[in-house]
A and B are shown apart, each in its own frame.
Chain A
């Protein structure tokens, strides 16, 4: 691999660092009583939001429909996910240093699988919270479940929920794209090497 390709691979792995600077996903709630909106931010290692006490406010609203309270402690993922991300960054840097095409492909594929698993896991949680409702809930609407949208918006009683990936996810997207691009560019290296006469022509 050429030096600039190694550099690209380095950028790809480091861009995963965005996950520690920005949330991965944001869920926006809006209701007539919440003109300012409520935002739940899902990070790789924590839950946050538009204010310090956003979780409490989410839970207060959710308890009327019997949804289980959301606590960061309930998610084992928040504990081990940061290590996975760090592992990807470290291995990515190593791959960049080694500079072997096949390793780049393997790293990219693994990251894509990890991302897909993450989204699936996230969706499973949404289904769990949205359907596992306390039978003693104060508000019961027959047949109603409260699965927030994974992507896009959905009306949940008086709340309009909107779910969107945030800048943290851009880190994963960039890592996959740049690493993929690195692999694609490095394919040309091989082609050029296989046709030495062309190199001479040029």
Chain B
């Protein structure tokens, strides 16, 4: 016994030394920004994560995902599970990268009743639907700031249509397609005092309660072409309409909207809109609304809003100004709209794959209420009302509630589903994703996310049949997840494996600007339809030239010169232009004569006050240039197209105003062996 104590005593200094060494290493670890092995945030990574997300070079991802860009007004396309960025699609924001919003063809896309608005805050992408499933044809997205809804064509991954919404402000609750895209539905987050003449009234801000109203827009979508048309609006009480989602199966005729600020506060909403213990979930029967609108219940008011469409054969966007809008008042349309009390300032509303349960995530609430659609139907039938608000019946909370998920976490925001009876809710405040069973309303698993998750997305998680393998958490705070890049950091998405009982963290990937929501779809629903190039024969651009022999430079009027140019590996025709004068408006229409995959050409002109034009094979794009001084200005191809790309350049001579230098143009001193000269057929 004595002996063993003695032995222990002898060991103590050694142990102390060992601990000191260990502590030293730990301290070093803390100050070491490169090393991540000692970083607490690597916890919870699945041991097989690397192989689960590894897509070998040359292999394709299983899924496309479309992440909104938030304040960059664009959509980012990522491959999953690799998290590789595939493309950024400009939607509401000018893009110098390809000339979107700068070229003469695309400028009209960004026209609004407020003039040219080259930026927006893009929050929610939603894929087009067929029978409640994504069909891979279009992606609808919202512009929050200057209310707009855009449609992206998934054959070309280009924005092809933007519809401005009248009587709306803060188009956040948008865009929600019904199960067959019958309508894309958009609600206003900011209620405003409508003057019923297409604008807002010059009203004292004290009059919020009496004068302010919200609106819900019903945009009809052409089943074949996808073209949008604002069919009608419902003018609703002056709450803030936050998010929405459509029903499915038994509830497919309905759309549900979360609302907050049922207090109707007009200032310091942070406090004013957080007073009521319950706000509302608004349920709207869109089919009945459409019927009312069709059967003459709709009134009409003057309006002023833009509808911009990109023509497929000319690639030229055209704006149409709409001068009226039809609207319904819920108090005149019985059975169309109900309010369901929902705990405190609810945010996300998500309908489970069966269409029976509506999950409301009350960001300030301590439980997640789950409403039952069949109970809602019974409550309506049995008139279990708890009064009314602005003529809209309010249903009794208990009569429509299936139950609440108790103590799910802090700050629930959004819920998606895996199609196996589980729901996954993002917890902003406690920074975790919580998995719970829909039937038992019981939390079964939780996983920390880094940090403060906003939206989450399961591919197809908002459809009838989710692809329940992955979950993407879109986090609002990044901090130390990547190498620091100054005060501004990329946001961070995290890929989580949800195929088993326990969630497993697989991958972090940085995202562009601030993704709010995302959509994902099996690659085989989109990839086979992807356009490789545009057919030159089908190019109907009025200033397209289809062979080099037809290029021209013409002084059309005193100050206007039109250049019809071609680009083909590896020259621009013409590449020598003279006779332009200071102050001329020079229009460069460039047709890319290539008819092969992945051969875009670009055109940049020195001193141009806009951007380059990036021209896809077979297409024509135009940039305008106004030279401000005399001299010689080079122009060149910006997209490395071939071994002789660096040679793909030319000069334009600018003479003083009133000069007698005639317009001339050429390429090459004598006829050379250049393929584009001959027929492009």
A binds B: yes
Interface residues of A (CB under 8 A from B): 36, 51-53, 56-57, 59-60, 62-64, 66, 68-69, 71, 134, 136-139
Q: Assess whether A63 is in contact with B595, with CB atoms less than 8 Å apart.
A: no
Q: Which residue of B lies closest to A69 (CB)?
A: B675
Tell me, in angstroms, the Cα distance from A158 to B423 when the chains sit together: 54
Q: Mark B566-606, 1 if CB is under 8 A from A, else 0.
A: 00110000000000000000000000011111000000000
Whether A60 contacts B678 in the complex (CB less than 8 A), given A136-B672, A139-B643, comes out as no
Can you list 18 A-B pairs with a CB-CB distance of less than 8 A? Answer: A36-B597, A51-B595, A51-B596, A53-B596, A53-B680, A56-B593, A56-B680, A57-B596, A59-B678, A60-B569, A60-B675, A63-B675, A64-B642, A64-B643, A69-B673, A69-B678, A138-B647, A139-B643
Q: Assess whether A134 is in contact with B673, with CB atoms less than 8 Å apart.
A: yes
Q: Shortest distance in angstroms between A158's beta carbon and chain B's nearest beta carbon?
A: 10
User: Which of B568, B569, B673 touches A66 (beta carbons < 8 Å)?
Assistant: B673
Q: Contacts of A138 on B, CB cut-off 8 Å? A: 643-644, 647
Whether A71 contacts B678 in the complex (CB less than 8 A), given A134-B673, A136-B672, comes out as yes
Q: Contacts of B675 on A, CB cut-off 8 Å? A: 56, 59-60, 62-63, 69
Tell me, in angstroms, the Cα distance from A69 to B674 when the chains sit together: 8
Question: What's the dominant secondary structure at chain B's contact region?
Answer: loop
Tell me, in angstroms, the Cα distance from A64 to B597 when the chains sit together: 19
Cβ of B31 within 8 Å of any chain A Cβ, yes or no, is no
Q: In the complex, how many residues of chain B place their beta carbon closer than 8 angstroms to a beta carbon of chain A?
A: 21
Q: Shortest distance in angstroms between A32's beta carbon and chain B's nearest beta carbon?
A: 12
Interface residues of B (CB under 8 A from A): 535-536, 568-569, 593-597, 642-644, 647, 672-676, 678-680
Q: Contacts of A62 on B, CB cut-off 8 Å? A: 675
Tell me, in angstroms, the Cα distance from A63 to B548 when the chains sit together: 16
Q: Shortest distance in angstroms between B668's beta carbon and chain A's nearest beta carbon?
A: 10
Q: Which residue of A lies closest to B674 (CB)?
A: A63
Q: Shortest distance in angstroms between B673's beta carbon and chain A's nearest beta carbon?
A: 5
Tell me, in angstroms, the Cα distance from A137 to B595 when the chains sit together: 23
Tell me, in angstroms, the Cα distance from A41 to B535 when the chains sit together: 21
Tell me, in angstroms, the Cα distance from A38 to B472 when the chains sit together: 40
Tell me, in angstroms, the Cα distance from A45 to B536 when the chains sit together: 24
Whether A57 contacts B643 in the complex (CB less than 8 A), given A63-B673, A71-B679, comes out as no
Q: Which residue of B lies closest to A61 (CB)?
A: B569
Q: Assess whether B595 is in contact with A52, with CB atoms less than 8 Å apart.
A: yes
Q: Contacts of B680 on A, CB cut-off 8 Å? A: 53, 56
Q: Assess whether B643 is in contact with A60, with CB atoms less than 8 Å apart.
A: no
Q: Contacts of B642 on A, CB cut-off 8 Å? A: 64
Tell me, in angstroms, the Cα distance from A53 to B647 when the chains sit together: 24
Q: Assess whether B568 is in contact with A60, with CB atoms less than 8 Å apart.
A: yes
Tell me, in angstroms, the Cα distance from A53 to B595 when the chains sit together: 6
Tell me, in angstroms, the Cα distance from A64 to B647 when the chains sit together: 12
Q: Contacts of A64 on B, CB cut-off 8 Å? A: 642-644
Q: Shortest distance in angstroms between A137's beta carbon and chain B's nearest beta carbon?
A: 8
Q: Contacts of A137 on B, CB cut-off 8 Å? A: 673
Q: Contacts of B594 on A, CB cut-off 8 Å? A: 60
Tell me, in angstroms, the Cα distance from A56 to B596 when the chains sit together: 9
Q: Which residue of A lies closest to B677 (CB)?
A: A69
Q: Shortest distance in angstroms between A9's beta carbon and chain B's nearest beta carbon?
A: 41
Seed contacts A36-B597, A53-B595, A57-B595; 6 additional CB < 8 Å A-B pairs: A52-B535, A56-B593, A56-B680, A63-B675, A71-B678, A139-B643
Tell me, in angstroms, the Cα distance from A36 to B568 when the chains sit together: 21
Q: Shortest distance in angstroms between A94's beta carbon and chain B's nearest beta carbon?
A: 38
Q: Which residue of B lies closest to A71 (CB)?
A: B678
Q: Contacts of A53 on B, CB cut-off 8 Å? A: 536, 595-596, 680
Whether A68 contacts B595 in the complex (CB less than 8 A), given A56-B680, A60-B568, comes out as no
Q: Contacts of B676 on A, CB cut-off 8 Å? A: 60
Q: Contacts of A51 on B, CB cut-off 8 Å? A: 595-596
Q: Shortest distance in angstroms between A132's beta carbon and chain B's nearest beta carbon?
A: 11
Q: Assess whether B673 is in contact with A68, with CB atoms less than 8 Å apart.
A: yes
Tell me, in angstroms, the Cα distance from A59 to B674 when the chains sit together: 8
Q: Contacts of B672 on A, CB cut-off 8 Å? A: 134, 136
Q: Shortest distance in angstroms between B59's beta carbon and chain A's nearest beta carbon?
A: 13
Q: Which residue of A lies closest to B597 (CB)?
A: A36
Tell me, in angstroms, the Cα distance from A63 to B677 when the chains sit together: 12
Q: Shortest distance in angstroms between B74's beta carbon and chain A's nearest beta carbon?
A: 29
Q: Which residue of B lies closest to A64 (CB)?
A: B643
Q: Contacts of A139 on B, CB cut-off 8 Å? A: 643
Q: Shortest distance in angstroms between B205's beta carbon and chain A's nearest beta carbon?
A: 62
Q: Contacts of B643 on A, CB cut-off 8 Å? A: 64, 138-139
Tell me, in angstroms, the Cα distance from A57 to B568 when the chains sit together: 10
Q: Which residue of A lies closest to B596 (CB)?
A: A57
User: Which of B597, B673, B678 touches A136 (beta carbons < 8 Å)?
Assistant: B673
Q: Shortest distance in angstroms between A92's beta carbon and chain B's nearest beta carbon?
A: 35
Q: Contacts of B535 on A, CB cut-off 8 Å? A: 52
Q: Shortest distance in angstroms between A83's beta carbon and chain B's nearest beta carbon?
A: 24
Q: Contacts of B595 on A, CB cut-off 8 Å? A: 51-53, 56-57
Q: Which residue of B lies closest to A70 (CB)?
A: B675
Tell me, in angstroms, the Cα distance from A39 to B115 when the chains sit together: 50
Q: Contacts of B647 on A, CB cut-off 8 Å? A: 138
Q: Which residue of A lies closest to B569 (CB)?
A: A60
Tell me, in angstroms, the Cα distance from A57 to B644 when the chains sit together: 15
Q: Which residue of B lies closest to A35 (CB)?
A: B58
Q: Contacts of A136 on B, CB cut-off 8 Å? A: 672-673
Tell me, in angstroms, the Cα distance from A51 to B647 when the chains sit together: 28
Q: Shortest distance in angstroms between A134's beta carbon and chain B's nearest beta carbon?
A: 5
Q: Contacts of A134 on B, CB cut-off 8 Å? A: 672-673
Q: Which residue of B lies closest to A53 (CB)?
A: B595
Q: Shortest distance in angstroms between B71's beta carbon and chain A's nearest beta carbon?
A: 38
Q: Which residue of A lies closest to B533 (CB)?
A: A53
Q: Shortest distance in angstroms between B399's beta carbon and chain A's nearest beta carbon?
A: 62
Tell me, in angstroms, the Cα distance from A60 to B567 when the chains sit together: 12
Tell me, in angstroms, the Cα distance from A137 to B535 when the chains sit together: 29
Q: Which residue of B lies closest to A36 (CB)?
A: B597
Most buried by A among B535, B595, B642, B674: B595
Task: Report the 10 A-B pairs with minimum CB-CB distance, sorted nearest first.
Answer: A53-B595, A59-B675, A134-B673, A57-B596, A69-B675, A63-B675, A60-B569, A60-B675, A69-B678, A56-B595
